[in-house]
Amino acid sequence: MPTGEGLDALLKISYVAVPLLATFVGWAVGRHIRLSYLQAEHEKLLREKESIEGKLEETRRNAEETRQISAERYDRLRATHEDARDKFFRMKALAHRLKQELVDYQQRPAADPPTPSRNDELNARVAELEAQLATAEGELQETQQRIEEATKSDGRIWLRPPGNHVPPFRPRSERKNVIISVLNLKGGVGKTTITANLAATFAKTESALLIDLDYQRSLSMLLVPNRERILLHRAGSSVQHFLASDRHCAKDLTGRLQKLSPEIPNCALLANSDSRSGSNGADGLEETESRLMIEWLFDRTRPDPRYFLREALHDRAIENEYRYVFLDCPPRLTTACVSALAASDYVLIPVVPDPLSTRAAENLLTTLCSFREVVCPQLKVLAVVPNMVRLIKDEPIRVHADALAELKEAILARWDEPIRIADACIKHDSAFGLSAALLDSEQKLSLAIAEVKVAQCFDALAEELLQEIQHHESRRTSAVPAQSGARARSGR
């Protein structure tokens, strides 16, 4: 039995030990509860993970089935379109031969005159063939429309995040050349005439490169005679040959260029040829674009066609040879158009001062905002260029001035940086009509700037654009980028 001193010691120890023991027991119980809770949460998360993995696998299978079905559908559409196209051009060639046979028969010498019955027979065959040709043309247009409807998405298909091996965008601080896309998602605003005349104006002091990316081929028809475009196509030296090739470096592009001297010194063109006027080589640009888009959509291992032009145009070989690069874009977001945007420093937007054209420019700015988030984050709008403006005493007529004022206000809500509406607008001038009349002719090349007043107008526009480029460059180097919502929203 413990003595008094031992009992006192035991009580002192118990005073210390019991609280410690209670604390330990509480900690152990709490830890057990926490571990039990974590174990339950872990098992719950495992079950959720298995469920999510099951759903992902099901989604993947469904997506793969959808992709396969869509790919087969596109393949059938393409095959149908190619059959319709081949049928149309075979019948067109046959109709041409039959018409020529009819003309030759009607011009037979007097010694062996044409008989009325044979003449009527040939006329009936021509009429029948023309009716069949009209039907074949309708079938061709229908299949083309079906392809366009199947791929229509207001540009959303191009917002897929870039994959691996995308060529980097070399900023202007690292390059000598300036790359400008001339674009409006509405036709008839004068993109081609502005591209050609502006490039020729810049080429008075520095070399310039033009690239025709519009499936209508207006720039190529303006600058290169038909017989030369046929030779370019047969040589595989057109823009569609570059896009469809396995390589897209500067050498592959420069090897296809057409020098425009002596008519336009210091200028070169990557032309757009028409396969139907050449050999049985590559397709035309429109067919090439559709094929590249479809293949990219359904085969993620293929190179991304959005960056084919960037790879070539951001190469030092191009910047050392061409100070300015102008890309004549089509009035819709085709493969070539998106590739131009991904390569460009600036977009130049021609507008006709009417509600349809200015509204199209507003919609384009909205589209470019989404593209800058994924495809071309470095892209800037260089200026809006009013075209075909009617002037009285060097001032736009009232209706044109009102349209431009409305556009200036609309820009404020569409873009997060100031956008210049060029003061040096392009006035309505007959010289442009005369130049357009020579499209696809064999006459000597003559641009609208051959007329002195038009040349002065483009000189002023070029000077204004150079000032705007310098302004953008100084703003890039001196300003700290602000949050998009806090950027200045003022137009000029």
- pLDDT in the model for residue 344: 97
- pLDDT in the model for residue 55: 79
- Residue 5 placed within a domain: no
Q: How many domains does the chain have?
A: 2
Three-state secondary structure call for residue 449: helix
pLDDT in tens, 375-401: 999 999 999 999 988 888 778 888 888
Per-residue model confidence as pLDDT tens for the chain (492 residues): 556 666 667 666 766 677 777 787 778 888 888 888 888 888 888 888 888 888 778 777 776 676 666 667 767 776 777 787 778 778 877 877 887 787 777 777 777 777 777 778 878 888 888 888 888 878 877 776 676 666 555 567 888 888 778 999 999 989 999 999 999 998 889 899 999 999 999 999 999 999 999 988 999 988 998 888 888 998 999 999 999 999 999 999 999 999 998 888 999 999 998 765 444 444 789 888 888 887 887 777 889 999 999 999 999 999 999 999 999 999 989 999 999 999 999 999 999 988 888 888 999 999 999 999 889 999 999 999 999 888 887 788 888 888 888 888 888 888 988 899 999 888 876 555 555 445 555 556 678 888 888 899 999 999 999 999 999 988 765 443 333 333 333 344
**Are both 178 and 145 inside the same structural domain?**
no
Q: What are phi and psi of 381, to 5 degrees?
A: -90, 120
- Residue 68 identity: Q
- Residue 488 placed within a domain: no
H helices then E strands: how many in the chain? 15, 9
Name every residue whose Cβ is closer than 8 Å to that of residue 22 and which is 6 or more positions away in sequence.
Answer: none
> Tokens 């050498």 appear where?
251
Contact of 368 with 381, CB cutoff 8 Å: yes
pLDDT in tens, 148-182: 666 555 567 888 888 778 999 999 989 999 999 99
**Are both 426 and 350 inside the same structural domain?**
yes
CATH number of the domain within which 306 lies: 3.40.50.300
- pLDDT in the model for residue 290: 82
> Distance (Å, rounded) from C-alpha 179 to C-alpha 310?
10
- Residue 69 identity: I
**Are both 138 and 263 inside the same structural domain?**
no
- Residue 11 placed within a domain: no
- Count the Cβ atoms, other than its own, within 10 Å of residue 204: 15
From 381, 378, 370, select the one nearest 156 (Cα to Cα): 370
Residue 43 is part of which domain span?
26-149
**Are both 293 and 377 inside the same structural domain?**
yes
**Are both 102 and 217 inside the same structural domain?**
no
- Residue 19 placed within a domain: no
- Residue 342 placed within a domain: yes
List the beta bridge partners of residue 268. 209, 259
- pLDDT in the model for residue 364: 92
**Are both 284 and 405 inside the same structural domain?**
yes
Going by their DSSP bridges, the two strands 391-392 and 258-259 should be labelled as: unpaired
Name every residue whose Cβ is closer than 8 Å to that of residue 72 and which is 6 or more positions away in sequence.
Answer: none
**Are both 187 and 291 inside the same structural domain?**
yes
**Are both 413 and 457 inside the same structural domain?**
yes
- Residue 66 placed within a domain: yes
- Residue 327 placed within a domain: yes
> Distance (Å, rounded) from C-alpha 378 to C-alpha 341?
10
* Final residue belonging to a domain, choices 95, 115, 149: 149
**Are both 283 and 422 inside the same structural domain?**
yes
**Are both 72 and 210 inside the same structural domain?**
no
* Final residue belonging to a domain, choices 115, 149, 183: 149
What is the distance, to the nearest Å, from the Cα of residue 56 to the centroid of all Cα atoms in its chain?
A: 33
**Angle 355-374/398-414 helices, nearest 10 degrees?**
20
Q: Which two tokens stand for residue 350?
A: 């021609």
> Distance (Å, rounded) from C-alpha 422 to C-alpha 426?
9
Contact of 215 with 187, CB cutoff 8 Å: no
Q: Which two tokens stand for residue 410?
A: 């609309």
- pLDDT in the model for residue 328: 97
What is the distance, to the nearest Å, from the Cα of residue 192 to the centroid of all Cα atoms in its chain?
A: 16
- Residue 163 placed within a domain: no
- pLDDT in the model for residue 413: 83
**Are both 325 and 242 inside the same structural domain?**
yes
**Are both 114 and 248 inside the same structural domain?**
no
